[in-house]
Amino acid sequence: MVLFLGTVRSSHPLINFAPYRRQISVRSRAISLPANGFFPFRRIFQACLQSNYAKGNAGVELPADQSEIIFLGTGTSEGIPRVSCLTNPLKTCEVCSKAAEPGNKNKRLNTSILIRYRPSSERSNNILIDAGKFFYHSALRWFPAYGIRTIDAVIITHSHADAVGGLDDLRDWTNNVQPYVPIYVAPRDFEVMKKTHYYLVDTSVILPGAAVSDLQFNIIHKDPFTVHGLKITPLPVWHGQGYRSLGFRFGDICYISDVSEIPEETYPLLKDCETLILDALRPDRSSSTHFGLPKALEEVRKIQPKRTLFTGMMHLMDHEKVNNYLLKLMETEGLDAQLSYDGLRLPVTL
């Protein structure tokens, strides 16, 4: 059930895009080079591949009725590279040094995706999941590159700064592109936002002439809800002891960005998941609030999606090295899992 605290735009019927399903694995398969290759040549060649791939991604023309997921950010709250690593005179952090290079896939901003839902060739809806502290920088990088103009809805996973810190930046859209942006948020997180973003919730406190974001809040509960014709099912998970975060299922895609434990009652909602986008903070172990790669892989084996993309990686997760390790699991276990990266476009059927 959704309690509407503002106006919601009209929705449109769902259409199946099965003919394009196989594009998913073709477009986003990581390219790896032999670990024992000549190091300088391998680094230069890899950079060229990444640069060409990014250019190809930006120029892709999808069918007019093709939906897609765009990964706006795949990193932690502080982002990668870390300033502390780049200013360290010893330069001991290899991942942050790589992330500072143009086009490198280790550069990661706050975890967020944009669902570009196209129920018909005439209509496209841009549904954002989370707008964190670095949202402006993600939008600046990818919106012009991929021809994204409107934000038709924002769905919030939880009320930490890396998920809601960019809500104030939506003023650019509500002042210059569209009259308002609908926000879908759970009751507890809405209560937090009444304090952290009080002037966006209660606009009566705004001085005349102050052009802040015009947001219309919609309270979501455990039941599925619909955003512009797309059915969204909340996936409750633990994000640290006693703190609930939400993942979301839309179609056969399950997105869980901030999780330390999946409750038993959530597993039935993950049944027959084809594409799983899952939290994996670090390569060696979990933290008190996030899955590490070993625990995330345990969950992948349990949930058994056809394909997994990990997100929310810190600077201990080297994109190339971890993906090479994951490719070995494809050979030994048949696990189709890779790290995502900022700017990744994933054609999907919704």
Domain of residue 289, CATH code = 3.60.15.10
Q: Is 123 within a domain?
A: yes
Burial class (CB in 10 A: 0-12, 13-18, 19+), 212: middle
The pLDDT assigned to 182 comes to 98
The pLDDT assigned to 3 comes to 54
Q: Is 47 within a domain?
A: no
Q: Is 265 within a domain?
A: yes
pTM of the predicted protein model: 0.84
Q: Is 129 within a domain?
A: yes
The pLDDT assigned to 37 comes to 40
Q: Is 40 within a domain?
A: no
Q: Which residues of the chain have pLDDT under 50?
A: 4, 6-56
The pLDDT assigned to 209 comes to 83
Which CA distances in Å does 224 have to 182, 227, 249, 250, 269? 17, 10, 9, 10, 11
The pLDDT assigned to 287 comes to 97
Boundaries of domain holding 275 = 2-6+13-29+62-348
The pLDDT assigned to 210 comes to 87
Residue linked to tokens 């694995």: 25
The pLDDT assigned to 11 comes to 34
Give me the residues paired with residue 309 across strands: 277, 338
The pLDDT assigned to 2 comes to 58
Q: Is 35 within a domain?
A: no
Q: How many domains, in total, are found in the chain? A: 1
Task: Answer yes or no: are the C-beta atoms of 62 and 347 closer than 8 Å.
Answer: yes
Q: Is 191 within a domain?
A: yes
Q: Is 341 within a domain?
A: yes
Task: Answer yes or no: are the C-beta atoms of 28 and 346 closer than 8 Å.
Answer: yes
